[in-house]
Amino acid sequence: MRLLFIGDIVGRAGRDIVLERLPHLRRDWKLDFVVVNGENAAGGFGITEAICSEVLEAGADCVTLGNHAWDQKEALVFIERESRLIRPLNYPAGTPGRGANLFEAQSGERVLVMNAMGRVFMDPMDDPFAGVERELNACPLGMGCDAVIVDMHCETTSEKYAMGHFCDGRASLVVGTHTHVPTADAQVLPQGTAYLTDAGMTGDYDSVIGMDKGEPLQRFTRKISSGRFEPALGPATLCGVAVETDPRTGLALWVAPVRLGGRLAEAVPAAWV
């Protein structure tokens, strides 16, 4: 199966490149399943129903979230009726929406997608490892589904690596989100799980992690806020990770970073072009 995960969309610049590029990538790379992290898609903070619908119509099969899941309050309502929008599974019991869901790919194969949020340097949450364990046990790779994708949304590289090894041999892909910087450690772990510490953001890299430089610089240099953060609006880079899985096991045959457009050096999966 051919899987594509696209890292955190930040604002209009990030949305525009996804809406422009994803339909062509879906066709040219013959993608079976696409996941997009959209937690910063609405002005850099949260997601709206209209934006979620645009991303899904452009070719995403599923949209994951993170610590900004509820910044747009309408998400608390429409997430209940949009089964393709996945929030972190370790929010407290009773939180609207779902933290994992089983989808059918265009090929007819079943893909389990889950979203977990880290706890180091982030808001206190339920244990992400216990939550992921429950989902893996409920729908094991090779039995309940043909592929498993884990979006680990957290601050520290160590917590992301720990989740990768925790899932090794039981997931097709564990990919980190949240820090908005693509890492160079794409690899297949010893037992067959594809791993990348951070997919990077899909947004304007002439910025401070997607935000217009003025306000962050003001706060760092003068410790004074002069306004709210606003997303940078220059040409965006679409960042993510591509994975091809073994049809017999659902584990990864290979993994490769994806970077298209904008300021960063281009990276495409050689096997697909």
Report domain extents, the chain. Answer: 2-272
Separation of alpha carbons 215 and 95, rounded Å? 33
Tell me whether residue 153 is one of the annotated catalytic residues: no
Apex 9 CA angle, 232 and 208, nearest 5: 35
Confidence of residue 234 (pLDDT cuts 50, 70, 90): very high
The H-assigned helical ranges of 139-198 are 157-167
Q: What is the pLDDT of residue 226?
A: 86
Fold of 2-272: Purple Acid Phosphatase; chain A, domain 2 (3.60.21)
Identify the weakest region by mean pLDDT among 49-53, 113-117, 226-230.
226-230
Single-letter amino acid code for the residue at 232: A
With a pLDDT cut of 70, the percent of the chain lying above it is 100
CB-neighbour burial class of residue 148 (10 A; exposed 0-12, middle 13-18, buried 19+): buried
Separation of alpha carbons 63 and 86, rounded Å? 6
Q: What is the model's pTM? A: 0.96
Q: What is the pLDDT of residue 107?
A: 87
Contact, 192 vs 251, CB < 8 A? yes
Selected catalytic residue, list 24, 68, 165, 180: 68
- What are the residues whose beta carbons fall under 8 Å from the beta carbon of 142, sequence distance 6 or more? 249, 250
**Beta strands across the sheet bearing 238-245:** 85-86, 62-64, 33-37, 2-6, 238-245, 252-260
Measured in degrees and rounded to the nearest 5, phi and psi for residue 23 equal -55, -40
Separation of alpha carbons 271 and 80, rounded Å? 38
Separation of alpha carbons 65 and 75, rounded Å? 10
Rg over CA atoms, the chain:
17
- Look at residue 250 and tell me whether its pLDDT is greater than 90: yes
Identify the weakest region by mean pLDDT among 9-13, 122-126, 203-207.
122-126
Give the residue-averaged pLDDT of 193-213: 96
Residue 26: which H helix or E strand, with range? Answer: helix 11-28
- SS3 call for 50: helix
Confidence of residue 112 (pLDDT cuts 50, 70, 90): very high
- Look at residue 273 and tell me whether its pLDDT is greater than 90: no
The encoded tokens of residue 16 equal: 């525009």
Number of H helices, E strands in the chain: 6, 12
- Look at residue 158 and tell me whether its pLDDT is greater than 90: yes
What residues does 62 pair with on adjacent strands?
A: 35
